[in-house]
Amino acid sequence: MKRTLTTVVLALGLLLALSACTQDQASLSAIKQAFPSSQYSKAVQVATCESGLDPTAVSAGGGNWGLFQINKVHEPTLRQMGYSWDQITDPVVNAKLARSIYDTSGWRAWSCD
């Protein structure tokens, strides 16, 4: 019984550790897809500062969402891109919108530039 419990606890710990890696990998992959290679490192730096690479992050006041902590004022652009606001925590969607914002405003749109 004790051996089975230990095995279950170890398996659960491994599963949790792997899911954390997967989230970061998904975030980095989304950034790589959305940004040109010349801006990849900067985009990773900004996303790391803004959300810790957590695509589900929401700011304390609830005004900024996802990987790049995008404000709801960008919802019209998101809709023009064919997405809805409830997809903003998808790292791919968030990174694509961040790229659109970057294309029009550069890195000054983020406080972590």
Share of the chain above pLDDT 70, in %: 81
pLDDT tens sequence across 25-78: 999 999 999 999 999 999 999 999 999 999 999 999 999 999 999 999 999 999
Convert 24-38 to b/e letters by CB count within 10 Å (16 or more is b).
Answer: eebbbebbeebbeee
The region, left, alpha or beta by phi > 0 then psi within -120 to 50, assigned to residue 62 is: left
> Which range among 6-10, 51-55, 86-90 shows the weakest confidence by mean pLDDT?
6-10
Whole-prediction pTM: 0.80
Residue 69 CA to chain centroid, in angstroms? 8
CATH number of the domain located at residue range(s) 2-109 in this protein: 1.10.530
Local structure of 71: helix, strand or coil = strand
Q: How many CA atoms lie within 13 A of 109 on its CB side?
A: 20
Domain residue spans of the chain: 2-109
